[in-house]
C-alpha cells in the first residue's frame, strides 16, 4: 500500500487484557446528567468541550418508523444542557462537532436532499457555511476537528475519493488536500495531535468485506497497514506518537440474525504491527476515545451487549485496562457513542442514548466524570 510504514504481521491478542468490573459505590465518579428537550427517538453521536462551562453535543431526534428524523444540537453552559434551535435548517442528523470558544464551533451532518452540510456556531445559533463541494451529491463530510491554532479539519470524500477538507480559523478559505491513496475507503473520524499532524480512521474494502483503516497527514499521507477483522470499522483513535496509536471500533462479523450485535475492537499500533487487545467483554461495540491533559489515553466509551443495565467504559491505568461501569438506574439500557475530555480540568463527558435501539421512547443521554 502506498505510503505504508512497517510491515503487517497480523492481529494477535495483546498482553494487556481489561480486568473485570470494578464495583465502586460511585461508578468511578461517572454520573448521569439530564439532556432534556429532545423528541424520541433521539441520540447524541458526538461531544466536544472547550472548558468546564462550555460544551456541544450533536445527533438526531424525532426518528420513528420510516422517518429520517431531524438534526439535534445541545449546548452545555456550565450548569445544564439546553437544546439549540435548528428549525431554520433542514438537516436529518449531525454527525460530529468541534469547538474552541463560545463563538466558534463547527458541525457536519446530512441535510434533506443531496450532499453534506457544514454548520458554524456563532455564539447564538447554528448557520450553514459554504465549502468546496457543498451541494454536490458525491460530497460527504463525516467528522470535524479543530487544532490549537483554530484551524478546521474535516474528513470525508469528494468525487469518490476519501480525504481531508482544511479551513483557516475564520472559515473563509477552504481546500481539499491530496486524496487519501486508498481505493474504496471511508473515513469516519478525524483527530488532531498537533497543528501539523492529523489522523483519520475508517474502513477500506478488502474484496470480501472491509478492514479497519488508519492514516496520518503531516503534509503527505502515511497509511498504516489495514487493521484486520471480519468487516471491521474504526470509529475513533488516539495517537500519542507515530509508534503509539490506539484505535477502537466494531467488528461486524459474518452471519447471524438481522441486527446481530458485533464485537468490540481495541487495537494498538506500535510502529510495526497492529495488536488486538481484549476489551473485557466480547459482544458489543467501542465508540469513542479520550486522552487526559497530558495527552495520554484515558477512557474509551463502549456498549456491553451482555450487560446493558449500565453504561460501559474502558479505563487506561498505566499499561493495564479496567472495565468501569456507569451509574445504575440512570437509563433503561444506556448506549454510549462518544467520550471527550474537558480542557482545563480532569473531567470528561460521554454521550449516547437511553437504549441501544434508535426508536421511541429512546432519548438523548449524557454522563459526566468530574475532576
List of residues 6+ apart from 277 with CB closer than 8 A: 13, 14, 16, 17, 18, 266, 267, 268, 321
Dihedral of alpha carbons 144, 347, 59, 247, sign = positive
Q: Give the pLDDT of residue 258.
A: 65
Given the C-alpha cell 462551562, which residue does it identify? 53
| Contact assessment for residue 47 and residue 57, using Cβ atoms and an 8 Å cutoff | yes
State the Cα angle at 247 between 238 and 336, rounded to 5°: 90
The burial of 58, by beta-carbon neighbours within 10 Å (0-12 exposed, 13-18 middle, 19 or more buried), is given as buried
- The proportion of the chain whose per-residue pLDDT surpasses 70, expressed as a percent, equals 91
Give the pLDDT of residue 247. Answer: 98
Query: How confident is the model at residue 113, as a pLDDT?
Result: 77
Mean per-residue pLDDT for 26-38?
85
Residue 257 above 80 pLDDT?
Answer: no
User: What confidence category does residue 7 fall into, taking pLDDT thresholds of 50, 70 and 90?
Assistant: very low
Lowest mean pLDDT among 10-19, 324-333, 347-356: 10-19
All structural domains of the chain, each given as residue ranges with its CATH number in brackets, are 13-369 (2.130.10.150)
- Whose CA is closest to 155, among 208, 234, 56, 259? 234
Residue 25: what pLDDT?
A: 33
The angle subtended at Cα 213 by Cα 211 and Cα 216, nearest 5°, is: 165
- Report the alpha-carbon distance of residue 102 to residue 175 in Å, rounded: 25
Segment 338-360 shows an average pLDDT of 95
Amino acid at each position: 500500500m502506498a505510503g505504508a510504514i512497517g510491515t503487517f504481521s497480523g492481529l494477535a491478542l495483546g498482553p494487556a487484557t481489561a480486568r473485570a468490573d470494578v464495583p465502586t459505590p460511585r461508578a468511578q465518579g461517572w454520573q448521569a446528567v439530564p439532556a432534556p428537550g429532545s423528541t424520541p427517538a433521539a441520540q447524541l453521536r458526538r461531544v466536544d468541550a472547550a472548558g468546564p462551562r462550555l460544551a456541544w453535543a450533536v445527533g438526531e431526534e424525532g426518528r420513528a418508523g420510516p422517518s429520517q428524523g431531524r438534526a439535534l444540537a445541545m449546548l452545555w453552559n456550565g450548569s445544564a444542557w439546553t437544546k439549540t434551535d435548528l428549525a431554520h435548517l433542514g438537516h436529518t442528523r449531525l454527525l460530529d462537532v468541534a469547538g474552541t470558544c463560545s463563538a466558534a464551533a463547527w458541525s457536519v451532518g446530512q441535510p434533506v436532499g443531496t450532499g453534506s452540510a457544514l454548520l458554524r456556531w456563532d455564539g447564538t445559533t447554528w448557520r450553514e457555511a459554504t465549502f468546496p463541494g457543498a451541494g454536490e451529491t458525491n460530497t460527504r463530510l463525516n467528522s470535524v476537528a479543530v487544532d490549537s491554532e483554530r484551524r478546521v479539519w474535516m474528513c470525508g470524500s469528494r468525487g469518490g475519493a476519501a480525504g481531508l477538507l482544511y479551513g483557516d480559523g475564520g472559515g473563509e478559505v477552504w481546500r481539499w488536500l491530496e486524496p487519501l491513496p486508498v481505493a474504496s475507503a471511508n473515513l469516519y473520524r478525524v483527530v488532531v495531535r498537533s497543528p501539523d499532524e492529523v489522523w483519520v480512521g475508517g474502513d477500506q474494502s478488502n474484496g470480501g468485506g472491509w478492514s479497519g483503516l488508519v492514516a496520518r497527514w503531516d503534509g503527505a499521507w502515511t497509511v498504516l497497514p489495514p487493521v484486520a477483522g471480519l468487516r471491521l470499522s474504526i470509529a475513533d483513535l488516539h495517537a500519542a506518537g507515530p509508534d503509539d496509536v490506539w484505535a477502537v471500533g466494531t467488528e461486524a462479523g459474518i452471519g447471524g440474525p438481522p441486527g446481530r450485535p458485533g464485537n468490540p475492537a481495541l487495537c494498538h499500533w506500535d510502529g510495526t504491527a497492529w495488536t488486538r487487545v481484549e476489551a473485557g467483554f466480547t459482544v458489543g461495540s467501542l465508540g469513542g476515545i479520550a486522552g487526559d491533559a497530558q495527552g495520554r489515553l484515558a477512557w474509551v466509551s463502549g456498549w456491553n451487549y451482555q450487560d446493558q443495565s449500565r453504561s460501559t467504559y474502558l479505563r487506561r491505568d498505566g499499561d493495564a485496562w479496567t472495565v468501569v461501569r456507569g451509574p445504575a438506574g440512570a437509563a433503561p439500557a444506556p448506549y454510549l457513542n462518544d467520550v471527550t475530555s474537558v480542557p482545563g480540568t480532569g473531567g470528561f463527558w460521554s454521550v449516547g442514548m437511553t437504549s441501544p435501539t434508535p426508536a421511541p421512547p429512546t432519548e438523548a443521554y449524557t454522563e459526566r466524570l468530574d475532576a
